[in-house]
């Protein structure tokens, strides 16, 4: 059975980023061509379509007990990633509701929409 995924708003993310907290991990699961259009500094890109290429590296690249925020375009792919991270033993995973689209709309209009 799938556990409910914790959600966070782009407003909360923006507050956390503005405080420059170091105790959080930021993962963007969009494709490289999407990042070329719009991105937020500080996110590690793990494209969902390339899952097989990076899945085994996740335990060494990310700390399963550090708060982890996951971003995509609208929040669907990031929800899949959150579910997978939880299944891998990650204990503090949050899906960014509305994804980069919401971030661009509500927080930073200088980030292009696509």
Do 78 and 99 meet the contact criterion of CB atoms below 8 Å apart? yes
Annotated active-site residue 72? The verdict is yes
Annotated catalytic residue, options 10, 72, 100, 107: 72
Selection from 6, 9, 15, 4 nearest residue 99 by Cα: 9
Are the CB atoms for 30 and 100 separated by under 8 Å?
A: yes
Q: For residues 101 and 72, what is the distance between their CA atoms, to the nearest angstrom?
A: 9
List active site positions. 72
């Amino acid at each position: 059975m799938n556990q409910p995924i914790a959600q966070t708003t782009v407003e909360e993310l923006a507050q956390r980023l503005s405080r420059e907290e170091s105790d959080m991990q930021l993962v963007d699961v969009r494709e490289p061509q999407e990042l070329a259009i719009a991105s937020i500094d500080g996110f590690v890109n793990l494209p969902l379509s390339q899952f097989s290429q990076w899945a085994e590296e996740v335990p060494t690249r990310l700390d399963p007990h550090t708060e982890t925020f996951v971003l995509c375009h609208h929040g669907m792919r990031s929800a899949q990633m959150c579910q997978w991270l939880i299944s891998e033993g990650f204990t503090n995973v949050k899906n960014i509701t509305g994804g980069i689209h919401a971030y661009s709309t509500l927080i930073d209009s200088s980030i292009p929409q696509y």
